[in-house]
Amino acid sequence: MTNDEIPAIDEDEEAAFASELAALVPKGASKVFVAGATGQTGRRVVLELRRRQVAVRAGVRDVKKAQSLGLAVSTPGTSAGPVELVKFDVTSDQAALIEAIGDADAVICATGFTPTLQNLGGLKPGAANAVDRLGTINLVAAAKSAGVNQFVLVTSLLTNAVESGQGDNQNYKVLNAFGGVLDAKHDAELNLRASGLTYTIVRPGGLSNEPPSGKLIVSGEDTLFGTDNESGREISRDQVAEICVEALFQGAADNKVIEIVSSPTAPQLDRSAWFDV
């Protein structure tokens, strides 16, 4: 065959093949910055990273509280060393956020506005906007400046309720009544998706602090709405932490939005298929 007879490379086919190949290649992170590491979800993310032998920089507002929770203690059987506790407030300026991220090559963001009688009563107006919108947007910008490779963001079901035809969903109305928190998370999601960072957005259902009581259900974006006729509406924070960390190790998780709940009646979902949505 002469050079003239060599078929031209189809660039679209080549790109599709490269994408499929990347999804099969095991990934990982050498060090992960966990934003909100003393929160109910964040501390579980730290523990799951430790279990996976990944070095951790834990972003915490109160270092003493983090120490009391045992976050800085070395985990037996791991080679990653003790967790690095770093002072962190998602509402801080860019320089402080970049310093907190440090040399981490991935970020898992588990921060979130927590409704209380004080901030619902108007003593802290705009708390959801400051944390879930502006705070996350600023953290994404800091991650880019710090050279982070991947960003995993925990938000919630129904962040995209209005656009997906669920504006009248009672779950959306009730949750969003807390300072417009779902709308704030929605804007943060859009910002991350447009940032150029490799991302995974995890939208869990109602969060439980109890150990898992059901099997994981993973679905594509805007498919689970927490209605009574759905097979699952809640999920253990332990399972949320697992899937956030697993996103760092599977190419199939790149640039995806997934929605997760659990149900005792759901079929067992193999870990390798968690991001096949």
pLDDT at 198: 98
* pTM, rounded to two decimals: 0.86
Q: What is the DSSP letter of 149?
A: S
pLDDT at 227: 85
Residues 83-103: pLDDT tens digits? 999 999 999 999 999 999 999
**How far is it, in rounded angstroms, from Cα 83 to Cα 48?**
12
pLDDT at 5: 47
Q: Is 91 buried (19+), middle (13-18) or exposed (0-12) by CB count in 10 A?
A: middle
The stretch 104-126 carries a mean pLDDT of 73
Model confidence band, residue 6 (pLDDT cutoffs 50, 70, 90): very low
To 5 degrees, how large is the angle CA 75–CA 49–CA 78?
35
**How far is it, in rounded angstroms, from Cα 103 to Cα 146?**
7
User: What residue has token string 């809640």?
Assistant: 234
Q: Could you tell me how far CA 238 lies from the centroid of its own chain? A: 13
Residues 131-140: pLDDT tens digits? 999 999 999 9
When the pLDDT of each residue in the chain is averaged and rounded to a whole number, the result is 87
Does 127 or 194 have the greater pLDDT score? 194
- Is the pLDDT at 232 greater than 80? The verdict is yes
